[in-house]
Amino acid sequence: MVYKNSGVSLFLLIWTLVIVGANGYFVGITYVDNAVAKGAVCLDGSPPAYHMAPGFGSGVNNWLILLEGGAWCNNATTCLARKNTRLGSSKEMVKQLSFSGFLSDKEKFNPDFFNWNKVKVRYCDGSSFTGDVEAVDPATNLYYRGQRIFNAVVDDLLEKGMKNAQNALLSGCSAGGLSVILHCDKFRELLPQSTKVKCMADAGFFINAKTIAGTEYIKEFFSDVVTTHQSAKNLPASCTSKGDSTLCFFPQNVAPQVTTPLFILNAAYDSYQVKNILAPGIADPHGTWHDCKLDITKCSDTQLQAIQGFRKEFLNAIKGVEGSPTKGLFINSCYSHCQSGMQETWLREDSPVLDNMSISKAVGDWYFDRGTVQKIEQCEYPCDKSCHNRVFTD
């Protein structure tokens, strides 16, 4: 039995290496140890971390920064639940991380950014890098220091060569994508004026939609996040000056005022938002949406009608950035979440397209000013046959 299990494990390891070798590569972790003295630490007090692949050739002075996602914690209980995981401690993060898609180092798979310096910043604060609470509760020993982490990591990268950047692109997925929108102008300020700086948010455009039960669950949740992490002071003043700082966690209230060029990549049927904003467990106590959320093909006609309504709300929320000369858009009618970090959706023969344009080409054309890119799919699910609709395990 031991021999058989070892054989299976060896086979899985070899298969993983083959897949990574074909489409990606492993990058080691870097701990920002000097950030601890600045109080820039994860929830458990450990130093922040990132994975960096150095640029080469003509890309040595170009930088691509990707902020990791991973939802949020909105109170001491939920933050404690993350404290001893990779989302709350750099001690629990893997030492090697696979880079592919947007982070690929192969021109075939990533033609515009393959030889750039590529950095994936790990997420361990639970606030989309916005928190800054000086006091540490002795009962929990939790540190809410997301904004300090962002600042410390950028400082570290500047010292490692980003201060000489010709081009820089701040990107992120999910909670990291939201962070990109919230920090885009700050990132611009931290880099030399001679650097061409743009930002790209993947699956970070969360909308203030009610649940299937008619409740404002996500608004209340974000309110708790802002309160727990004392995030208000670190959110864009162009938004907080208008009133309730909680509303600044919804990009529709922030993105139109972002002055640095910003690209929004999102699925109109964002699978995370359908599962956690439209139909969270608290609004579906009997689990009638369980199968539908895992696989959109399992949705009933009534559920599909609700999801189509969510899409309409999403498209209405995105209108604030339509037509802006500094904004790029790629909004497809797919049931997915985060499409830049996986090779199958970033650039492959069968990857998603809008008007025969891949996500990779859309972002590249926009960044390098090869043309205006504001693509919004006008048809409803299941019209787009190029989609890689997510199917989740239980």
What does the pLDDT read at residue 226?
A: 98
Structure confidence by residue, pLDDT tens digits, 319-359: 999 999 999 999 999 999 999 999 999 999 999 999 999 99
Tokens of 23: 């489409």
The CATH number of the domain where 368 resides is what? 3.40.50
pLDDT in tens, 225-243: 999 999 999 999 999 999 9
Inform me whether the pLDDT recorded for 137 exceeds 90: no
Residue 305's contacts (CB-CB under 8 Å, 6 or more residues apart) are none
- Residue 179 burial (CB count, 10 A): 27
Active site residues: 174, 270, 337
Tell me whether residue 16 is in a domain: no
Domain-located, residue 245? yes
Give the per-residue pLDDT at 3: 35
20 located within any domain: no
Instruction: Indicate the pLDDT class of residue 22, thresholds 50, 70 and 90.
Output: low
pLDDT tens for 82-99 read: 999 999 999 999 999 999
| Span 245-249, average pLDDT | 98
Lookup: tokens for 167: 């081009």
- pLDDT at 394 (0 to 100): 76
pLDDT at 209 over 70: yes
* Domain carrying residue 331: 26-376
DSSP 302-359: HHHHHHHHHHHHHHHHGGGGTT-TTEEEEEES-S-S--SSSHHHHSSTT--EETTEEH
Residue 15 pLDDT greater than 80, yes or no: no
The answer to the question of residue 153 being in a domain is yes
Mean confidence (pLDDT) of the chain? 95
d(CA 60, CA 62): 6
- Does a structural domain hold residue 5? no
Q: What CA–CA distance (Å, rounded) separates 344 from 337?
A: 13
User: Chain-centre distance of CA 133, in angstroms?
Assistant: 23
pLDDT of 17 over the 50 cut:
no
Reported as a pLDDT band with limits 50, 70 and 90, residue 195 is very high
pLDDT band at 268 (very low <50, low <70, confident <90, very high): very high
Distance from chain centroid for Cα 123: 10
Work out the average pLDDT over 231-260. 97
Q: Output phi, psi for 100, to 5 deg.
A: -155, 180
Q: What is the CA radius of gyration of the chain?
A: 20
Q: Which residue, among 382, 337, 342, has the nearest Cα to 358 in the 3D structure?
A: 342
Give per-residue pLDDT as tens, 150-168: 999 999 999 999 999 999 9
Answer whether residue 80 is part of any domain: yes
What's the structural domain count of the chain?
A: 1
15 assigned to some structural domain:
no
- 383 part of a folded domain: no
pLDDT of residue 157: 98
